[in-house]
Amino acid sequence: MSMKQRDQQRDQVFTRRALLLGGAKLGLFSALVGRLYYLQVVEAERYKVLAEDNRINLKLLAPPRGRILDRFGEPLALNRLNYRVVIVAEQARDVEHTLDQLAQLIEVTDADRRRVMRDVRKKRAFVPVTVRENLNWDDVSKIEINAPDLPGVSIDVGQSRFYPHTEAVGHILGYVGAVSETELTGEPLLELPEFRIGKNGMEKTRDLDLRGAAGASQVEVNAVGRVIRELNRQDAIPGKDVELTLDIGLQEFTRQRIGDESAAAVVMDIHTGEVLAMVSAPAFDPNLFSHGLNARDWEEFLANPKQPLNNKAIQGQYPPGSTFKMMTALAALDAGVITPATIVNCPGHYALGDRQWYCWKYKGGHGSVDLAFAIKQSCDCFFYETAKRVGIDKLAAMAKRFGMGARLGLDIPGERPGNIPTRDWMLATRGHPWTQGETLNAGIGQGMVLVTPLQLAVMTARIANGGYAVVPHLTRAVGGKPAENVKQPAFPSLGVNPAVMSHVFNGMVAVCNDPRGTAFRSRIAEPGLEMAGKTGSAQVRRVSAAERDHDVRRKDAEIPWRERDHALFISFAPIQAPRYACAVVVEHGLHGSDTAAPIARDVLLEAQKRDLGRQPPGRIAGEPKAAG
């Protein structure tokens, strides 16, 4: 093969290789161009969204919590400015040193320090960390004046819950607090660090209404998440205002009248079921919980024997004592086992088998007693005999018709049912049959009968309104519209003969207005404002036979507080046209006529003088009234 032919062959091979290499390069370039076209044209929208999501953050804005108002628009719970001091780690450089400087101006506890340092380590350096909240104006001024010496420290302004009437409304309104892990539902709003939800009382019951709806802020951020600017903002929707049935003026008066007693009082409208005042004493200031309760305050609450954290009006369960005699009388009259003219002899004691039950007037007794006198003088022997005749089951049935032995459904949490015993209950819970002696105890509101002050108020209201099943409630309106419990139809009749009701009604009138009535000294003397009522004293310890036989009596001051009888009083007014029912229970108050009755008298007199029936602003139409 000649040289020329070899060169031609070599050129052909090179050309083929060059073409193959060029084709491969062209194919790779075409694939690259195709991929770029796919990413930049076909998938352009998708990657645009991803880029925007990486550049734009959506920040939730917490809504202002709705207010809670009384029936006349007086704020009971509202929001106020919350001044808090925050620190930015990247600006402070030495956070611990800055905290030392800050501690010379305001109180910074060891717990605050630990929390701040923990948050600084967890969060980005440019994110503010709260050091303390709810600063007063003096603290804010000190920090602002010394700002040049406090690098990274600034004052932030937010909102916190505030209860202007403090202890007067603590048990009813409850309080708000930070969201716990168990309360997280996946709703993003609940994960905001400063967000608060209702933890108890009306704040909890109406939390969703009060909470409102979150807003949103679109902000542009850089690669590390620092906010550059706000692009768009949608304001949060404030929570709805909740209007209660309470009259805060009457509530404050009742609280002051109870004073230092461990007690509960309820005032309600006998026709609508509106609770006008509901006081439990001692109470607590819900502002303490909103600001964060410290360990010392919590321990003091728990150590207090008068249990200030308990809402005694709905959680306290007490023997009703002689106030329960209204149910014994109604059950017996309704069953026909006695008449108003039935006479029972009271020698001061009542014998059943080989045991004796005593009347409170056990020295000589009351003599021959009819129903009117028995109610007026609260004769135990008359009601022992009456309870024996009617039996526990009919007695229990009547008590339940008047609201005892079950929760009434009041629109705040924590209500307890009390206890109205029956034969079946005794077998199921105690494992032995009911005895007649237990019937005698139940007939005077002792033994295993337990009621709440709210139940006593409802029982009184149903007597005073002629026997209609009025149901108590606290919510009047939500967001300016009637609450669902206000829209209910007229309350049904309890089915008790009006003539039967009138005998008990008139007996309660005599208790307060007849000179021989047990509450005559606590009567309302103003014409047209008179009240009716029934005293009660419930034993918390059994008086031994030896004490009675030898007349061993200790002076009231000598009896340890926990061994003293509970003092009770139920009442309604005015007697000519009843409108308000009131129940008062004073724990270990000894005598209903001396301790509880004067409180109820003053509260009912105040209620009438305040004229709670007047038209409040924006009065809601169509409120229920008792049928008939």
The pLDDT tens digits of the residues spanning 110-168 come to 888 888 888 778 766 766 777 887 788 888 888 888 888 888 888 877 778 889 998 89
Q: What Cα–Cα distance (Å) separates residue 164 from each residue in 72, 79, 132, 169, 240?
A: 15, 10, 22, 9, 19
Residue 286's pLDDT is what? 87
Q: How far apart are alpha carbons 89 and 75 in whole angstroms?
A: 40
3-state secondary structure 124-137: CCCCCEEEECCCCH
Residue 603's pLDDT is what? 96
Average pLDDT score over residue span 79-100 = 82
Q: How far apart are alpha carbons 628 and 255 in whole angstroms?
A: 35
- Sequence ranges of the domains in the chain: 59-244, 248-283+310-610
Residue 551's pLDDT is what? 47
Sign of the torsion angle spanned by Cα atoms 326, 331, 337, 341: positive
Q: How far apart are alpha carbons 110 and 88 in whole angstroms?
A: 19
Average pLDDT score over residue span 168-188 = 82
pLDDT of residue 86 exceeding 90, the answer is no
Residue 476's pLDDT is what? 93
Residue 398's pLDDT is what? 96
Residue 251's pLDDT is what? 96
CB-CB contact of 461 with 453 (8 Å)? no
Q: What Cα–Cα distance (Å) separates residue 455 from each residue in 59, 267, 383, 450, 555?
A: 48, 11, 21, 10, 32
Highest mean pLDDT among 100-104, 228-232, 598-602: 598-602
Residue 627's pLDDT is what? 37
Highest mean pLDDT among 5-14, 191-200, 210-219, 397-406: 397-406
Return phi, psi of residue 418, to 5°.
70, -165
Sign of the torsion angle spanned by Cα atoms 335, 341, 343, 348: positive
3-state secondary structure 494-546: CCCCHHHHHHHHHHHHHHHHCCCCCCHHHCCCCCCCCCEEEEEEECCCCCCHH
Question: How open is the CA angle 77-258-325, to the nearest 5 degrees?
Answer: 115
pLDDT of residue 226 exceeding 70, the answer is no
CB-CB contact of 537 with 567 (8 Å)? yes
pLDDT of residue 552 exceeding 80, the answer is no
- Could you report the per-residue pLDDT of 6-17, keeping only the tens digit for each? 666 666 666 777
Residue 220's pLDDT is what? 65
pLDDT, greater one: 37 or 493: 493
pLDDT, greater one: 496 or 628: 496
Residue 588's pLDDT is what? 84
**SS3 assignment, position 614:** coil
pLDDT of residue 217 exceeding 70, the answer is no
Catalytic residues: 322
Q: Chain centroid to CA 526: how far?
A: 35
DSSP 28: H
Average pLDDT score over residue span 179-207 = 80
Lowest mean pLDDT across 303-317, 427-441, 548-562: 548-562
Residue 438's pLDDT is what? 94
- Could you report the per-residue pLDDT of 373-397, keeping only the tens digit for each? 999 999 999 999 999 999 999 999 9
Highest mean pLDDT among 49-63, 521-535, 604-618: 521-535
CB under 8 Å to 531, separation ≥6 — which residues? 512, 523, 524, 571, 572, 573, 574, 575, 600, 601, 604, 605
Residue 1's pLDDT is what? 57
pLDDT of residue 25 exceeding 90, the answer is no
At 293, is the pLDDT very low, low, confident or very high (cuts 50, 70, 90)? low
Q: Under CATH, to which class is 248-283+310-610 assigned?
A: alpha beta
Query: Hunting for tokens 């007996």 — which residue is that?
Result: 507
Tokens of 432: 């032995």
Q: Decide the pairing of beta strands 242-244 and 68-69.
A: parallel
* Summary count for the chain: helices (H), strands (E): 23, 21
Residue 625's pLDDT is what? 39
pLDDT, greater one: 560 or 516: 516
Question: How open is the CA angle 179-312-452, to the nearest 5 degrees?
Answer: 120
CB-CB contact of 57 with 231 (8 Å)? no
The mean pLDDT of the chain is 83
Give the residue from 241, 251, 250 showing the smallest Cα distance to 167. 251
Average pLDDT score over residue span 543-550 = 50
- Could you report the per-residue pLDDT of 302-330, keeping only the tens digit for each? 777 778 888 999 999 999 999 999 999 99
Tokens of 572: 């309604």
Average pLDDT score over residue span 227-247 = 79
Residue 10's pLDDT is what? 65
Average pLDDT score over residue span 29-37 = 74
Average pLDDT score over residue span 545-565 = 59
Q: How far apart are alpha carbons 211 and 65 in whole angstroms?
A: 5
Question: In which region does residue 551 sit, left (phi positive, over 0), alpha (psi from -120 to 50) or beta (all else)?
Answer: left
Residue 589's pLDDT is what? 77
Question: In which region does residue 186 sit, left (phi positive, over 0), alpha (psi from -120 to 50) or beta (all else)?
Answer: left
Q: What percent of the chain has pLDDT over 70?
A: 82
Query: Hunting for tokens 């403090």 — which residue is that?
Result: 166
59-244 matches 248-283+310-610 in fold: no
pLDDT, greater one: 585 or 38: 585
What dotted CATH number matches 59-244?
3.90.1310.10
CB under 8 Å to 466, separation ≥6 — which residues? 498, 501, 626, 628
Residue 89's pLDDT is what? 80
Residue 231's pLDDT is what? 62
Q: Number of C-alpha atoms within 13 angstroms, CB side, residue 77?
A: 35
Residue 618's pLDDT is what? 42
pLDDT of residue 36 exceeding 80, the answer is no
**SS3 assignment, position 445:** coil
